Structure 1
Amino acid sequence: MRRKLAIVSIAAVAATGGAIAVMQPASAATGCSVKYTVTNQWPGGFGASVELTNTGDALTSWNIGWDFVAGQGIQQMWSAVPTVSGLHVTAKNESYNGAVPAGGKVSFGFNGTWTTANPVPGAFTLNGAACNGGTTANQAPSVSLTSPAAGASFTAPATVAIAANASDADGTIAKVEFYNGSTLLGTDTSAPYAFSWTGVAAGTYSVTAKAYDNAGLSTASTAVPVTVTAGGGTGAPSVALTSPTAGSSFTAPATVALAATASDSDGTVAKVDFYNGTTLLGTDTSAPYTWSWTGVAAGSYTVSAKATDNAGNSTSSSGTAITVTSGTSTPDTHVDNPYVGAKGYVNADWSTKAAAEPGGSKIAGTSTAIWIDRIAAIAGSSSSKGVREHLDAALAQAAGGVPVVVQFVVYDLPNRDCAALASNGELKVKENGLARYKSEFIDPIAAIMTDAKYNSLRIVNVVEDDSLPNLVTNLGIANCAEANTSGAYVQGIQYALNKLHKANIYNYLDIGHHAWLGWDSNFGPAVTLLANTVKGTTAGFNSVDGFISNTANYSSLTEPYFTVNTQVGGNTIRQSKWVDWNMYVDELSFTQAFRNALVTAGFPATLGMLIDTSRNGWGGTARPAGPSTSTDVNTFVNTSRIDRRIHAGNWCNQSGAGMGERPRATPATGIDAYVWIKPPGESDGSSTAISNDEGKGFDRMCDPTYTGNTLNGNNLTGALPGAPISGAWFSAQFQQLMTNAYPAL
């Protein structure tokens, strides 16, 4: 079974799952206590969990009731069925979680709304009887900005003093974070909570504070608008926007040609930046100063130009109003390729770490995927955003009318990655894993992603890496056999596709990589399994937009110095130890061939493919500069190949790997985009058992001293033994990927 054992992602913390039901017989003794937790809170909305402890007789069904006391409401609930009458809420069990033994617990979660206050309900009932065990509560903290005042104005380069009040009724404030939009400015851990934001350029900003208590619960303040005007000074350049003219109208998706004239009486113009409002569209460093703004959606915009001279003095032109009217495609319409005419969402959780590395600013603005690899990752934590927080941040980045693509990895099937160790998941088939996957994982994700608030975003889901290919190659492994006979993989993926099927959501399934499914004995059966799985969904072939390769591996995009048809000394290179009779030698040829086979199997001709190029650059000093002159087939292949691993199936933190092609749309025939799904610098696993909250498990394939096995050859390097998952380890891995990047940074 020629395959890698799987990738493992970053993780996050927080989320709830739960339960509910019907009425108990009157003869049963009823007793209960309730724990009510406001998990996070923002202006107008909040998330909460309810945990009930059954202190009476065993239950076969249940309903839990309470009254909101300040006009709160329910938006959506999971692991329970809500009924709302005025301020009264009844949460009733689902069909699968009504049984609660004496002394047992059941829990569920919901998202709600609030206006002036969000106090904890005072009393709860179980099946109509008052809970006699009392109520405990964990309430999100309160926070408000005290400075700057709304509408405050400063002169660039400005110093903006930011301050907030924060308190927690049931604990202690751990920290207060200060933001401009979704960008973290700074953190204070003790009152009075304050931050000095220095060197702020001219523009309009939105400042907020976010407080966290010691339990990790958080609340965001109402945003405060702040304006910074251009400063004075002599020698500033002059600039005028010459195109488009005021009142110009375009049809979406529009291409708007921007042009400006600029001069400096006492120096040289260094650059001209073009803006939509405060959003930078692009920069030109030489006259004539121009920028082509493409894929602009319907809306009204104000564009301007800003000239900066060599001394750093700058001047902005007056804003020019333009209109883009509805055309054949809008951001919330399902388009053939979501990456065309769009920009990628930049995940600040990863970007901040990347920017802190030497040279990291070169790629810190690159779009990478968010991994939802545990139930806790849905809500997020104080150190990493949850799904809703990422989508809200993407809306903020969408300013300017260009659609934003937000990429998620939906990755928590029961018996996940059944042939691996480091990336095994939290749910097990034999522990009701499929039901939990549906109710505690997919349902909450779908409730957030299908919120109409996010209709303007293009949400791309990479659905369950390392899943269906295992059912082709690894049924000799007990966990994989169980995933197959139980139907957990197929049914789980079908359920996910059904719930995540919406006009602005794009789903891509995993096809491993060429060194896993590239053999003819694996290729055909994989195509058949994927086709049958997708046909079983409600929307059939239309439930997916395409497939993705290479997320769980490092295979080269192309091998420039030989193909699968190359002959050496009268022998095909397929017989070399490296190729090992595979039908493909790189990811591009494999992915294009797999796409053709899927179309033949019934998928539409519009089917698109993605290739993860985040770590398959294989640049650096070890990269061959040309083909070998040897007539020995093994020597020729080993000397000519740019992929420097000892075996094409090796996967864990490989030495010599580098960042590959930068994300871009339509790079090759049949390929929707090259993407960075695995964020560079993050570990696949650990070489020893390491305590962490990021889901990194132990696997010998991650040990640099491991000599390999019959499947994967010899590993070259793994996670630093005993090292933490982030910090120094991230830096070491990130720097290696930058050093070996191809094309070079």
Structure 2
Amino acid sequence: MNKLRERVGRLRPQRLLAGAAAVAVVGAGVSLISSGAAVAAPGCSVAYSANSWGSGFTASIDITNAGDPITSWTLEFDYAGNQAGGSAWGGTLTQTGKHVKIVNAAYNGSLATGAKTNVGFNGTYSGTNANPTSFTLNGVACNGGTNPSPTPTVEPTVEPTVEPTPQPGTHLDNPYAGAKWYVNPDWSAKAAAEPGGSAISNQPTAVWLDTIAAINAPAGSGYTTSLRGHLDNALAQNATLAQFVIYNLPGRDCAALASNGELGPTEINRYKTDYIDPIAAIQADPKYASIRIVNIVEIDSLPNLVTNAGSAAGSTEACRTMLANGNYSTGIAYALSKLRAAGSNTYNYIDAAHHGWLGWDSNFAPAATLFAETAKKATGGVNTVDGFITNTANYSALSEPFVKIGTTVNGTTVRQSKWLDWNQYTDELTFAQAFRNQLVSAGFNSNIGMLIDTSRNGWGGSARPTAASTSNDLNTFVDASRIDRRIHAGNWCNQSGAGIGERPKAAPASGIDAYTWIKPPGESDGSSSLIPTGPNNPGGKGFDRMCDPTYTGNDRNGNSLSGALPNAPVSGAWFSAQFRQLLANAHPAL
């Protein structure tokens, strides 16, 4: 069975949709002065927002305890319309008629004075999706009222009404929920300069820290803005979330050439001292405490050890070297330790490849086991991991409506088709949700969330199927019905026909923290021919034949054509032709 290896693409998060509605109900704190025993002073504030699409919506609720510390809580409110809440995170939701009750999860029941937690859920509605306006927490109205036990020796002194803010030390279950996502002005300007690019130039994308020079962006390095510069820009935008790709392991990307790194296989100490330590020090600056800093940790690395470090087709000597010396696992464990210790506002998401890489039984569970073994080496263990990301800088379709894993053609499962080759998954959403469960089984915390990079997996345009094929031939049926239009699922470089995918959004589906754009649309995956070191290749990046449109493939892509666009620049450089194609084939359409 051919184990496909699709390159994982990077995705950047985006701000909440412009159409999102929000309402805040603030409770006033009341200080009580007494010559006798202290009296409990309950108080709370609630901020509710909802992103609506069609007949569905995602609700995000920030709860702040403005009263005395509590050890458990129940939030209640009523809808005015026919909204129905569904699967929830951060708590257990029940609904009777229009009345909704959410009880805390095991990990967020205790709230100190001023402490904040977030819950959310997906729901359905018809008509008007009006926000609720009244909330109670443990029976106390979140409207400025308190409910002290009556006693004649207590004299209340009412303080001004204040909206509580998250306290230092608050670490959220889903950092994307309720956040304003940073828009990289460097990428935004390039996008806006293209015809039609203003339609997406306001979207948030991730910043790639793919060399040591990217941290400080010295003159002549090819980088425009330093890490501090991006964080300062985020403050200027009043953004509360910024995303960075940590991508510079020793012997990086051992199964490809377009994105090999600057550090040799044994330079683990330099990785620690010259790369991770400076990043962690900057992210730890109290100046940036209001920004939820999301780190996307080392794309392609651990998945390569699962599939490309043995003796099977597609394995490489470079990957076998990295498996033997342990520097991928050592480096990632160190990065998790240092970046998580930088502050309660830092979040780590590890790369988990995609369904066309780890979706086979032989890769699925072993990958989760390797990820857990690596995380447990970190100081803080699995608690340093907030979640995982799939499809980074890749093209796998989010959903395949016409090719489900249970689909059969003349009694034959689609898993036997050349496209799937016995894979257990046909798309990224089902893979990410299932892999999350496997990761929890392997030892990760039950509240981890998944991210999916949707920057280039829309596959819209005239070639997008609108119904299942009527063919009785298995391969014809699958090829005519699938949304993903690549020649082969192992093709990863500058794919012809690809389009912009789902816009960034928080908590779009069960177990998914966000759809995000980690790979900035318009940035090349690699050059279509060798470009010598110089003005067009200041970093001396390599050339991978999978980026050459004339290449007829290898074992990883079934010896198929690469499907790559011609005339591509080096990885990370602006590729205007690709950007225009992505706009034209966007789905949902722009």
Given the two structures, how large is their TM-score scaled by the length of structure 2? 0.71
More helix by share: 2
Residue 397 of structure 1, aligned match among 231, 237, 240: 237
How has the CA–CA distance of structure 1 residues 7 and 699 changed in structure 2, closer, same or farther, with 3 Å as cutoff?
Answer: farther
| CA 394–560 in structure 1, closer or farther in 2 if over 3 Å, else same | same
Pairing of 1:488-503 with structure 2 (within 5 A)? 488-501=327-340, 502-503=343-344
SS of the equivalent of 2:275 reads helix
Distance 1:702 1:369, change over 3 A: same
What secondary structure is seen at the aligned counterpart in 2 of 1:435?
A: helix
Residues 737 and 722 of structure 1: CA distance in aligned 2, closer, same or farther (over 3 Å): closer
**Cα distance per residue 1:59-106 (max 9 Å; x no partner):** xxxxxxxxxxxxxxxxxxxxxxxxxxxxxxxxxxxxxxxxxxxxxxxx
Structure 1 636/412 Cα, relative in aligned 2: closer, same or farther at 3 Å? same
> What's the CA shift string for 1:454-502, capped at 9, x where partnerless?
1111000000000011111111421111111111000000000110013
2:550 corresponds, among 701, 705, 715, to 705
2:389 equivalent among 548, 573, 582: 548
What's the CA shift for 1:708? 1.3
CA separation in 1, counterparts of 2:402 and 2:554? 28
| Cα pair distance change 1:559/1:508, threshold 3 Å | same
Partner of 1:718 in structure 2?
564
Following TM superposition, by how much is the alpha carbon of 1:720 offset from its aligned partner in structure 2, in angstroms?
Answer: 3.4
Q: Deviations over 1:420-457 (max 9, x none)?
A: 11011010124xx1011001100110110111111111
User: Aligned partner of 1:743: which letter?
Assistant: P
- Residue 372 of structure 1 aligns with an amino acid whose one-letter code is L
- Cα distance in 1 for residues equivalent to 2:132 and 2:206: 25
Is 1:254 equivalent to 2:47 in the alignment? yes
**Match for residue 319 of structure 2 among 468, 471, 480:** 480
State the distance in 1 between where 2:5 and 2:568 align: 23
Q: Does residue 340 of the first structure (1) align with residue 177 of the second (2)? A: yes
User: What is the distance in 2 between the residues matched to 1:610 and 1:675?
Assistant: 7
Tell me which residue corresponds to 2:55: none
Task: State the distance in 2 between where 1:456 and 1:735 align.
Answer: 36
- Is the 1:331–1:457 contact (alpha carbons within 8 Å) kept by the matching residues of 2? no
The aligned counterpart of 1:614 is 455
Residue 588 of structure 1 corresponds to which residue in structure 2?
A: 429
Stretch moving more, 245-254 or 688-697: 245-254
Q: How does 1:200-279 map to 2 (within 5 A)?
A: 254-255=47-48
> Cα gap change, 1:247/1:442 in structure 2, threshold over 3 Å: closer, same or farther?
closer
Structure 1 equivalent of residue 226 of structure 2: 386
Q: Specify which of 562, 582, 589 is matched with residue 737 of structure 1.
A: 582
Map residues 234-633 of structure 1 onto 2, 5 A cutoff.
Answer: 254-255=47-48, 324-326=162-164, 329-330=166-167, 333-381=170-218, 384-398=224-238, 404-430=240-266, 433-476=267-310, 477-501=316-340, 502-633=343-474
Separation of aligned partners in 2, 1:615 and 1:385: 24
Q: Kindly provide the amino acid, as one letter, of the partner of residue 181 in structure 2.
A: G
Q: Which amino acid aligns with 2:326?
A: G
Q: 1:603 to 1:583 in 2, by over 3 A?
A: same
For residues 493 and 539 of structure 1, the distance between their equivalents in structure 2, rounded to whole angstroms, comes to 13
Q: Tell me: higher relative CO, structure 1 or 2? Use CA pairs within 8 A at least 6 residues apart.
A: 2
AA matched with 1:388: R
Q: 1:732 to 1:359 in 2, by over 3 A?
A: same
For residues 357 and 572 of structure 2, what CA distance do their matches in structure 1 show? 29
The C-alpha deviation readout for 1:195-253, integer Å capped at 9, x for no partner, is xxxxxxxxxxxxxxxxxxxxxxxxxxxxxxxxxxxxxxxxxxxxxxxx99999999656
> SS of the counterpart of 1:344?
coil
Name structure 2 gaps, 5 residues minimum.
12-22, 30-42, 51-128, 134-159, 311-315
Q: CA deviation at 1:731?
A: 1.6
Go from structure 1 to structure 2 and tell me whether the alpha carbon gap of 1:330 and 1:693 turns closer, same or farther (over 3 Å shift): farther
C-alpha separation in 2, matches of 1:332 and 1:513:
33
Matched ranges for 1:102-181 at <5 A: none
Q: Which residue of 2 aligns with 1:74?
A: none
Task: Give the Å deviation of 1:718.
Answer: 2.9
Q: Percent identity?
A: 61
Tell me the amino acid that sits aligned with residue 400 of structure 2: E
Aligned-residue offset at 1:715: 3.6
Deviation at 1:631, TM superposition (A): 1.4
Please state whether the residue corresponding to 2:295 is helix, strand or coil.
strand
Equivalent position amino acid for 2:201 in 1: A
Q: Does the 8 A contact of 2:205 with 2:518 survive in 1?
A: yes
Match of 2:70 in 1: none
Contact 1:7-1:423 at 8 Å conserved across structures: no
C-alpha displacement of 1:717: 3.9
Determine which structure has the larger strand proportion and give its number: 1
One-letter amino acid matched to 1:339: Y
- Contact in 1 for aligned 2:8/2:353 (Cα 8 Å): no
- 3-state SS of paired residue (2:518): coil
- Deviation of 1:693 after TM superposition, in Å, equals 2.5
Amino acid in the other structure paired with 2:566: L
Give the 3-state SS of the residue equivalent to 2:555 in structure 1. Answer: coil
Does the 8 A contact of 1:251 with 1:324 survive in 2? Answer: no
Q: Deviations over 1:566-621 (max 9, x none)?
A: 11111000000001000000000111010001111221211100000000000011
Q: Distance in 1 between matches of 2:469 and 2:500?
A: 25
Larger Rg: 1
> What SS does the corresponding residue of 1:516 show, helix, strand or coil?
helix
Please give the alpha-carbon distance, in whole angstroms, between the structure 2 residues aligned to 1:735 and 1:696. 24
Cα 1:491–1:244 shift into 2, 3 Å: closer
Q: 1:254: Cα distance to partner?
A: 2.9
SS of 1:685's equivalent?
coil
User: Using the alignment, how far apart are the partners of 1:625 and 1:331 within structure 2?
Assistant: 50
1:251–1:325 CA contact under 8 A, matched in 2: no
Shift of 1:633: 1.0
**Match in the other structure for 2:16:** none
User: Once superposed, what is the RMSD of the aligned Cα atoms?
Assistant: 2.9
Q: Name the counterpart of 2:502.
A: 661
- The total of aligned residue pairs comes to 446
CA distance in 2, matches of 1:292, 1:361: 31
Question: 1:456 is aligned with what amino acid?
Answer: S
Which amino acid counterpart does residue 405 of structure 1 have in structure 2?
L
List aligned pairs for 1:74-113, cutoff 5 A.
none
Shift of 1:331: 7.9
Kindly tell me: are residues 715 and 377 of structure 1, through their superposed partners in 2, closer, same or farther at Cα, counting changes over 3 Å?
A: farther
Name the TM-score, length of structure 1 as normaliser.
0.57
Q: Which runs of 5+ in 1 are unaligned?
A: 11-242, 258-289, 295-321
Deviations 1:630-672 (A, max 9, x none): 1111111001001000111100000011010000011111000
Deviations 1:42-64 (A, max 9, x none): xxxxxxxxxxxxxxxxxxxxxxx
For residues 246 and 546 of structure 1, the distance between their equivalents in structure 2, rounded to whole angstroms, comes to 31
Q: Tell me which amino acid in the other structure corresponds to 1:369.
A: A
User: Matches of 2:198 and 2:498 in 1, distance apart?
Assistant: 20
